[in-house]
């Protein structure tokens, strides 16, 4: 009986202590509401507000493809910008600003001018149609697999391994060890080995630093055009350094702070011998496959 | 002249000491109560050093610098006043008046400063706030009724006094004396050889009349604030603005008299309807210094304001007689202020003047208990002797009235205490305000009766993009009302009135960015 009493006392004590802890935590958490109240806002709160505002602005700019920080976000010394929770690579891809030309979704048909990219008749005239050839290589994500014609897979998430995680784990690859997307574009176009980088100029998700084709999506449809407009509006000095560091063999000075640098550069590089700078040197495909040694997701870096 | 009859009107505090004329208005215009923003009302407006609320626009514009979000605000006020009045030997008699009005409304635009990289600045001058706001501070709504038997004088005696000095053949047709003459309640002393001296129709030495007064008032006064404020280094908040004082009051005043003596006189009813509007502009400025994150001091100054006042009024007397009088003989005779345009509707008479209200200085302290609440204290220095009347409609220079204001009033400190307790999204508020009487001639014990006291409670609910507040105010104020005072005999009766005010206000702010 005494023991039961003792247990009972202990139980009461634990209940009391835990409720005290919970209530203290609650009070602390609800008291933070007062930070929004101008009466109670401290200098620290205002600094915090400024930081949150900065983050929100950057994020908004990123999602609109207007961020002047875009070049920095992937750089090692600006790794903090890389933390962007995304439910899929497609979303991340859009947030970085480079997905703006891949708009539209399965329900919009061809209303969007970019949609013809996902019409098999417009995949450079080559529709992926050989299942043996395509699917036998790796377990890459083929966004056009199934009846997904006319859909923008980056918007719809259809067949997206990030949306359906089990897709990353199959008989060919029980552990996801590499970027599931890197094959997608090549597979779509019937080329099986992206590492060879042949035809990589058609793959917007794979950066080949030695090859630049401004018209890879057709004339006057350069997806990097807008990106460079924005890049050039900011700290040109820093950009020059970065570009010079990473763009191998580049002799072209495009850091002249002109609004249409890309256009100018595109013209001068029509011989395909210059560098392709739309994704800057820290291109996501390169980093994920190189820096992370296959151990991380594409586009992410260590924080 | 209308002003000459103003001693009929309500006399706040001890107005038997001063010449009644004009002080009614004076007290009305500088006698600010508490009000405005619902949030601050819950804490008795003790927001001088607290800041961060729209009431700061009126009390200490520096506090507006703490507001960093553009917002709209609106508040609705329900005011109820109960007056217990005692007259001559009669017992207390109750009356009341309830109504609804605008408590506060306005727009605040806050601009956060950014650097060349578009980042928010947190040092130096880091935000500017522009505001246009209305804060109500006084409510005139009340209803007063009292009656009693008067054996010393009749209202007709007062009418005679008012008529004295005017030739009965050439009277001012706007004057009260003329109304008395036209209604046969007074007669010139022609038999005694005076044509400019009048006597009541009650010729007996024994007066025995029953008098009843009914007053109904509505209207309010408040400040329109237009200005700008800033935040320097999150330490010093400063602001400056234009303060436009505006007040309106409507009053119906009825004085009834019934004669018990066996004379020709049966009784009379005097009605006066008044609408008065006052407005004027001044400046206010102030600052709040955060000595630490917890301790704040505030200092603000509101300049003197010269109010332009317009009184619009009508008056009438209905006289009743036991037997027909006049030509043609009638038992009921009505006399009204004139109808100049002959449209058979009594014209509204207008009298304009100006009144300079004195400046106010507010010193305040606040202690912020982390994010759990605050306690605050405001002390407002106010010197009513600096107020003054100025003529507009005529060349009457108000020398007696101004002299009375200067010599018989004293400077006071209005004190306000307030606090708030934060409970997550909820706020609980309470406050107390003490506004002492301006009179200086009475013994302190008597003066205590005329101090004003406000007890407040408030509740708030804060969401990220809106807040909702409710406040309740109970106030106590005593006053003395003298329906009329005879100059010759210095004979008067006064009514002692105990006012109990009850305010309920609901308000909301909505962030718009």
- Nearest by CB to residue B122, choosing from A32, A35, A46, is A46
Instruction: Check CB contact under 8 Å for B423 and A30.
Output: yes
Distance from CA of A37 to the nearest CA of B (A): 8
Closest CA relative to residue A81, chosen from A98, A64, A68, A100: A68
Task: Decide if A115 contacts A167 (C-beta within 8 A).
Answer: no
Chain B residue numbers with beta carbons less than 8 Å from the beta carbon of A41 are 52, 66, 68
Q: What is the distance between the alpha carbons of residues A229 and A209, in angstroms, rounded to a whole number?
A: 20
**Inter-helix orientation angle A224-231/A261-268, to 10°:** 120
- Of B411, B355, B406, B356, which is closest to residue B379 (Cα–Cα)? B411
Radius of gyration of chain B (CA): 26
List all residues of chain B from 122 to 141 with a beta carbon under 8 Å from chain A: 122, 126
Tell me whether residues A46 and B234 touch, CB distance under 8 A: yes
Distance from CA of A261 to the nearest CA of B (A): 22
DSSP 8-state code for residue B138? E
Contacts of B52 in chain A (CB under 8 A): 37-39, 41
Are B68 and A39 within 8 A, CB to CB? Answer: no
Q: Decide: helix, strand or coil at residue B98.
A: strand
pLDDT in tens, chain B (513 residues): 333 333 323 333 333 222 233 567 777 777 888 999 999 999 999 999 999 999 999 999 999 999 999 999 999 999 999 999 989 877 778 888 888 999 999 999 999 999 888 889 988 999 999 999 999 999 888 899 999 999 888 999 999 998 999 998 888 888 889 999 999 999 999 888 888 899 998 887 788 899 999 999 999 999 999 999 999 999 999 999 999 999 999 999 999 999 988 788 999 999 999 999 999 999 999 999 999 999 999 999 999 999 999 999 999 999 999 989 888 889 999 998 888 878 888 888 888 999 999 999 999 999 999 889 999 999 999 998 888 999 988 888 888 888 888 888 889 999 999 999 999 999 999 999 999 988 887 766 676 778 899 999 999 999 989 999 999 999 988 888 888 888 877 677 888 899 999 999 999 999 997
Buried b (16+ CB within 10 A) or exposed e, B424-442: ebebebbbbbebbbbbeeb
CA distance B299 to B288: 7
Distance CA B117, CA B111 (A): 16
Structural contact between residues B348 and B336, judged by C-beta atoms closer than 8 angstroms? no
B323 in contact with chain A, both atoms CB, cutoff 8 A: no
Q: Which residues of A touch B50 (CB under 8 A)?
A: 39
d(CA B167, CA B123): 76
A129 is written with which tokens?
């149609």
- How many Å lie between the alpha carbon of B355 and the closest alpha carbon of chain A? 36
Q: Is A120 in contact with A191 (CB distance < 8 Å)?
A: no
Radius of gyration for the alpha carbons in chain A, expressed in angstroms and rounded: 25
B420/A37 Cβ within 8 A: no
Strand partners of residue B272: B253, B315
- CA distance to partner chain A, nearest, from residue B287 (Å): 15
Q: Are the beta carbons of A36 and B464 separated by less than 8 Å? A: yes
CB-based contact (8 Å) between B39 and chain A?
A: no
Interface test with A, best of B371, B429, B464 (most A CBs within 10 A): B371
Report chain B residues whose CB lies below 8 A from the CB of A53: 119-120
A vs B: CB pairs below 8 A: 70
* Interface predicted TM-score (ipTM): 0.83
Secondary structure of residue A12 in the 3-state scheme: helix
| Residue B401 backbone phi and psi in degrees, to 5 | -65, -45
d(CA A68, CA B143): 68
A257: closest CA of chain B, how far (Å): 17
> Residue B161 in contact with residue B487, Cβ under 8 Å?
yes
- Tell me which of B68, B118, B122, B237 to substitute to probe the interface with A (most A C-beta atoms closer than 10 Å): B122
Partners of B126 on chain A (C-beta within 8 Å) are 46
Q: Is B512 on the interface with A (CB under 8 A)?
A: no
**C-alpha–C-alpha distance, residues A217 and B404, integer Å:** 91
Q: Using 50 as the pLDDT threshold, list the residues of chain A that sit under it.
A: 15, 20-32, 67-88, 95, 97-141, 146-147, 173-178, 194, 226-303
Q: Does B462 touch chain A (CB under 8 A)?
A: yes
**Does B52 touch chain A if contact means CB atoms closer than 8 Å?**
yes
| DSSP H helices in chain A | 2-31, 43-64, 70-73, 89-95, 131-135, 153-156, 184-188, 224-231, 236-246, 261-268, 284-286
CB A282: neighbour CB atoms within 10 A?
A: 22
- Residues of A with Cβ-Cβ distance to B122 under 8 angstroms: 43, 46-47, 50
B355: left (phi over 0), alpha (psi -120 to 50) or beta: beta
Q: Residue B120: which of A37, A40, A50 has the nearest Cβ?
A: A50
Q: For chain A, say whether B118 makes contact (Cβ under 8 Å).
A: yes
- Cβ–Cβ < 8 Å for B458, B471: yes
The predicted pLDDT at position B504 comes to: 95
CB contact under 8 A, A38 and B68: yes
Subunit contact B122:A34, Cβ cutoff 8 A:
no
Contact between B364 and B298 under an 8 Å Cβ cutoff? The reply is yes
CA distance B414 to B135: 18
Instruction: Name the residue of chain B whose CA is nearest to A40's CA.
Output: B371
Q: List the Cα angle A59/A64/A68 in 5-degree steps.
A: 70
The Cβ-side half-sphere exposure at A229, using a 13 Å CA radius, reads 9
Flag if B234 and A31 touch (Cβ within 8 Å): no
Q: What is the DSSP letter of B226?
A: E
- Name the residue among B357, B340, B272, B275 with its Cα closest to residue B310: B275
Chain A contact for B331 (CB, 8 A cutoff): no
- The two most distant CA atoms of chain B are separated, in Å, by 96
Q: Which candidate from A32, A39, A49 shows the least CB-CB separation from B52? A: A39
Sign of the C-alpha dihedral computed for residues A127, A132, A138 and A142 taken in this order: positive
Shortest Cα distance from A1 to chain B (angstroms)? 43
Q: Return the structure tokens found at B492.
A: 């008067």
Q: How far apart are CA B436 and CA B334, in angstroms?
A: 44
Q: Are B248 and B175 in contact (CB under 8 A)?
A: no
Interior/surface letters A209-221, b for 16+ CB within 10 angstroms, e for the rest: bebbbbebbeeee
Separation CA B465–CA B276 (nearest Å): 40
- Residue A180 burial by Cβ neighbours in a 10 Å radius (0-12, 13-18, 19+): buried
Check CB contact under 8 Å for A38 and B119.
Answer: no
pLDDT tens, position by position, A205-264: 555 555 555 565 566 655 555 444 444 444 444 444 444 444 444 444 444 443 333 333
Closest residue to A57, CB basis, from B118, B122, B293:
B118
Measured CA to CA in angstroms, residue B485 lies from B18, B368, B396, B490, B492 at distances of 12, 53, 21, 7, 5
């Amino acid at each position: 009986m005494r023991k039961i009493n003792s247990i009972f006392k202990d139980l009461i004590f634990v209940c009391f202590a835990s409720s005290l802890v919970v209530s203290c935590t609650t009070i602390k958490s609800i008291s933070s509401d007062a930070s929004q109240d101008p009466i109670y806002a401290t200098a620290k709160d205002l600094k915090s507000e400024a930081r949150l505002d900065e983050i929100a602005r950057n994020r908004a700019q990123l999602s609109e493809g207007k961020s002047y920080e875009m070049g920095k976000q992937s750089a090692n010394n600006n790794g903090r910008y890389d933390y962007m929770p995304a439910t899929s690579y497609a979303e991340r891809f859009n947030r970085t600003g480079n997905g703006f030309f891949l708009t539209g979704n399965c329900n919009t048909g061809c209303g969007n001018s970019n949609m013809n990219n996902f019409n098999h008749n417009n995949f450079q005239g080559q529709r992926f149609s050989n299942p043996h050839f395509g699917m036998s290589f790796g377990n890459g994500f083929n966004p056009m697999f199934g009846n997904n014609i006319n859909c923008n897979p980056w918007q719809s998430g259809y067949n997206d391994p990030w949306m359906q995680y089990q897709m990353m784990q199959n008989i060919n690859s029980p552990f996801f060890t590499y970027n599931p997307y890197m094959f997608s574009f090549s597979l779509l176009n019937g080329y099986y080995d992206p590492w060879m980088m042949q035809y990589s100029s058609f793959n917007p998700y794979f950066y080949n630093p030695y090859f630049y084709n401004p018209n890879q999506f057709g004339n006057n449809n350069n997806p990097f055009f807008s990106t460079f407009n924005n890049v050039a509006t900011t700290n040109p000095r820093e950009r020059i350094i970065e570009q010079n560091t990473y763009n191998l063999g580049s002799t072209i000075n495009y850091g002249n702070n002109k609004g249409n640098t890309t256009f100018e550069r595109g013209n001068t590089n029509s011989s395909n011998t210059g560098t392709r700078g739309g994704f800057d040197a820290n291109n996501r495909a390169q980093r994920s496959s190189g820096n992370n040694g296959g151990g991380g997701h594409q586009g992410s870096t260590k924080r | 002249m209308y002003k000459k009859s103003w001693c009929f009107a309500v006399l706040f505090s001890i107005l038997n000491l001063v010449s009644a004329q004009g002080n009614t208005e004076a007290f009305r215009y500088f006698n600010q109560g508490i009000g405005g923003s619902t949030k601050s009302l819950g804490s008795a407006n003790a927001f001088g050093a607290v800041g961060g609320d729209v009431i700061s626009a009126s009390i200490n514009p520096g506090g507006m610098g703490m507001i960093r979000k553009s917002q709209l605000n609106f508040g609705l006020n329900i005011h109820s006043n109960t007056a217990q009045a005692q007259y001559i030997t009669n017992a207390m008699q109750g009356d009341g008046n309830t109504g609804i009005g605008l408590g506060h409304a306005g727009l605040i635009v806050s601009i956060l400063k950014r650097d060349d990289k578009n980042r928010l600045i947190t040092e130096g001058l880091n935000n500017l706030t522009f505001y246009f706001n209305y804060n109500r501070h006084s409510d005139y709504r009340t209803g007063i009724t009292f009656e009693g038997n008067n054996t010393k004088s009749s209202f007709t005696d007062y009418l005679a006094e008012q008529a004295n000095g005017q030739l009965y053949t050439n009277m001012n047709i706007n004057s009260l004396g003329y109304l008395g003459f036209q209604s046969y309640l007074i007669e010139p002393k022609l038999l005694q050889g005076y044509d400019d001296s009048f006597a009541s129709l009650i010729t007996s030495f024994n007066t025995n009349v029953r008098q009843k007064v009914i007053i109904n008032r509505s209207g309010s006064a408040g400040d329109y604030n237009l200005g700008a404020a800033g935040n320097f280094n999150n330490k010093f908040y400063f602001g400056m603005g234009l303060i436009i004082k505006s007040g309106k009051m409507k009053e119906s005043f009825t004085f009834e008299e019934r004669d018990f003596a066996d004379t020709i006189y049966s009784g009379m009813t005097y009605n006066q309807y008044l609408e008065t509007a006052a407005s004027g502009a001044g400046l206010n400025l102030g600052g709040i210094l955060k000595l630490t994150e917890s301790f704040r001091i505030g200092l603000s100054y509101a300049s003197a304001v010269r109010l332009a006042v317009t009184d619009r009024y009508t008056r009438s007397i209905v006289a009743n007689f036991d037997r027909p009088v006049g030509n043609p003989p009638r038992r009921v005779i009505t006399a009204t202020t004139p109808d100049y345009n002959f449209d058979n509707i009594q014209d509204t008479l207008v009298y304009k003047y100006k009144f300079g209200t004195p400046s106010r200085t507010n010193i305040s302290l606040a202690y912020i208990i982390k994010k759990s609440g605050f306690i605050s204290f405001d002390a407002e220095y106010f010197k009513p002797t600096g107020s003054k009347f100025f003529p507009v409609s005529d060349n009457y220079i108000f020398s007696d009235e101004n002299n009375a204001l200067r010599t018989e009033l004293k400077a006071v400190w209005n004190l306000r205490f307030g606090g708030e307790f934060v409970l997550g999204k909820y706020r609980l508020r309470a406050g107390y305000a003490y506004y002492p009487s301006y009179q200086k001639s009475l013994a302190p014990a008597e003066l205590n009766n005329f101090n004003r006291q406000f007890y407040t409670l408030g509740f708030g609910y804060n969401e990220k993009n809106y807040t909702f507040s409710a406040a309740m105010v109970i106030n106590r104020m005593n006053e003395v009302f003298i329906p009329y005072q005879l100059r010759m005999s210095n004979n008067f009766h006064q009514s002692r009135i105990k006012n109990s005010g009850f305010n309920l206000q609901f308000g909301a702010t909505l962030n718009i960015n």
